[in-house]
Amino acid sequence: DAGITQSPRHKVTETGTPVTLRCHQTENHRYMYWYRQDPGHGLRLIHYSYGVKDTDKGEVSDGYSVSRSKTEDFLLTLESATSSQTSVYFCAISDTDRTNEAFFGQGTRLTVV
């Protein structure tokens, strides 16, 4: 398995509170992604990073921000969590300069009550 660790694995939080999810990789891959998975929608891209301090928005970026201060860590922040952000969040990594594979973390189940 590719070295991707997501933390926490599960979290319950209250509406309006800030939440940060962490993705840590040991593969030194250049590209990192955050997806959310919801019933009836499959996986949708939230934000992605193409290098340290280089990030951009994906398909469903509203209400989310990201930061990548070093190669191995990609943080996803919900500034003020809402119930619509209850979901399973997956981090993925790839290094398309060398391979066409994308590897996923185990997911973080976030519940906003």
Q: State the residues that interact with another protein by CB under 8 A.
A: 31, 33, 35, 40-45, 48-51, 54, 56, 58, 90, 92, 94, 96, 100-107
Distance in Å from the first CA to the final CA of the chain: 33
Please say which residue, 16 or 51, places its beta carbon nearer to another protein.
51
Say how far apart CA 42 and CA 88 lie, in whole Å. Answer: 11
Nearest distance from C-beta of residue 30 to another protein, angstroms: 8
76 or 105: CB nearest another protein: 105
Give just the sign of the alpha carbon dihedral 112, 34, 43, 62: positive
Task: Say how far apart CA 63 and CA 66 lie, in whole Å.
Answer: 11
CB of 43 to another protein, least distance (A): 4
